Chains A and B, each alone.
Chain A
């Protein structure tokens, strides 16, 4: 599903966050990406989602060679991924339903299909009753779960999560991780970047450690 081949990322000024990284994630696999802050976890995910381009090396995601993708192909590529962030990046002038519906609207689904899928996604994260509310009136954990619902509503083959539990208390964090596990069991490849080693230690998934820009 993901393949990194000698990938390096150097920022202007010479600072290198990733140094010749090799990595692969199989289809249907779930893995954790961990390391100290500044170890390059976010860069790693951003490269996969084409939010950045690597300085050198090759990345293949979902069969696409990213360095061959043209600018106009990026949106189509991204629409097949699911991405969540530490801050869930919701639109606060729209209801929970409308937020989750966005990826489907963008892809031109009919209102009927959209309603069905959004309800299913909200049901999975346990927020069906809040669908008409505005996100700002919900708690941090609930907002995070809306973000997750939005990331999976269009049934992506790959789900990327950048510190999804960063702002949550342990109980909520475990709940969110549990959600990712459920999606993985349904066949979605999942890559979660987190520094919460205690949380992931108990889950039987591969843990990839980034240290000094290298995978160890």
Chain B
């Protein structure tokens, strides 16, 4: 088939399906709104996981490691050790806390003074507080850094509060899996809504299909306008969904920002990015086409003149 003929077929089918959708604004509108709501949910979940990822990347910076120095290391060697720690790969910064500083800090805490007075001499070791470099982001990397530091000579013990981090990650993992599951289910819902809508449309246009088959229209020709209908449904719904999401995020942003402020987090809520909007529209359009295809293929072969 010539390319120009094929192109004119497509333009014709796209325009005809669009016109017939616009001829029934109420029915089309209701379907589009239903699909748009179905699309809004996964879009919001998407935003939710994105924000969680952003938020936790802020929290990760809190993974400090405390290194307890050997008690028999003399104060003169502290700075040598500190320099060695600072040179270790993956260390962003390190602060030395001598035993004297440690005891002062303890004494400042309420109720500790009496306890301190009873001690014969300072039992505290010197501590190096290590802040991981910015490129240390995953628990595995942090654990590796921890192991490296712990094996340094002169280090008696090291502490890393890994547990809360691994718990958080496990939780985030669950949330992400759930989100993906929901997205899949809702995508399926979109396909089936369009499937059912087009089933009714074809039922209504039974006569037309019959006549077209009678005059020798190919299956591809008959199917095309229905596929375009699915495509239009997906496209229009996605645009409406983007609109819904934007309104939702705008109304939520103020409240959320307040929440973030209360927790003193430096965190800005992100809505749908341009790329995400584009992706949403593309995916929805594809789902519309898919739903139409599933529905139409089977039904059309059942109609015989």
Contacts and interface: CB of A to CB of B under 8 A. Distances in A.
Interface of A: 49, 51, 72, 75-81, 83, 89-91, 102-103, 105-106, 108, 110, 150
Contacts of B1: 108
B109 interface: no
A49 B214 CA distance: 9
Given A51-B304, A51-B305, A106 B215 contact: yes
A89 B211 contact: yes
Contacts of A72: 218-219
Given A89-B210, A91-B208, A108 B5 contact: yes
B217 A75 contact: yes
B15 to A, nearest CB: 12
10 contacts: A75-B219, A78-B215, A78-B216, A79-B217, A91-B208, A102-B212, A103-B215, A106-B217, A108-B8, A108-B9
Interface string B266-305: 0000000000000000000000000000000000000011
Contacts of A150: 215
A51 B214 CA distance: 8
Task: Classify chain B's interface size.
Answer: 20 to 34
B247 to A, nearest CB: 37
Interface centre among B9, B214, B217, by most A CB within 10 Å?
B214
B218 A105 contact: no
Given A51-B214, A78-B216, A79-B216, 13 more contacts: A72-B218, A72-B219, A75-B217, A75-B221, A77-B216, A78-B215, A81-B216, A91-B208, A103-B215, A106-B212, A106-B217, A106-B218, A108-B2
A118 to B, nearest CB: 14
A91 B215 contact: no
B207 interface: yes
A147 to B, nearest CB: 10
Interface in B1-30: 1-2, 5, 8-9, 12
Interface in B206-236: 207-208, 210-219, 221
Interface of B: 1-2, 5, 8-9, 12, 207-208, 210-219, 221, 304-305
Contacts of B221: 75, 106
Contacts of A79: 215-217
A105 B219 contact: no
Contact of A105 (B2, B12, B305): B12
B195 to A, nearest CB: 24
Interface centre among B208, B218, B304, by most A CB within 10 Å?
B218
A78 B217 CA distance: 8
Contacts of A77: 216
Nearest to B217: A106
Contacts of A108: 1-2, 5, 8-9
A49 B216 CA distance: 10
A75 B305 contact: no
Contacts of B216: 75-81, 103, 106
Contacts of A102: 211-212, 215
B130 to A, nearest CB: 71
B214 A91 contact: no
A156 B2 CA distance: 22
Contacts of B2: 108
Contacts of B219: 72, 75
B39 to A, nearest CB: 31
Contacts of B211: 89-91, 102
A102 B5 CA distance: 15
Contacts of B304: 51
B244 to A, nearest CB: 34
A89 B214 contact: yes
Contacts of B12: 105
A127 B288 CA distance: 41
Contact of B213 (A75, A81, A103): A75
A191 B215 CA distance: 17
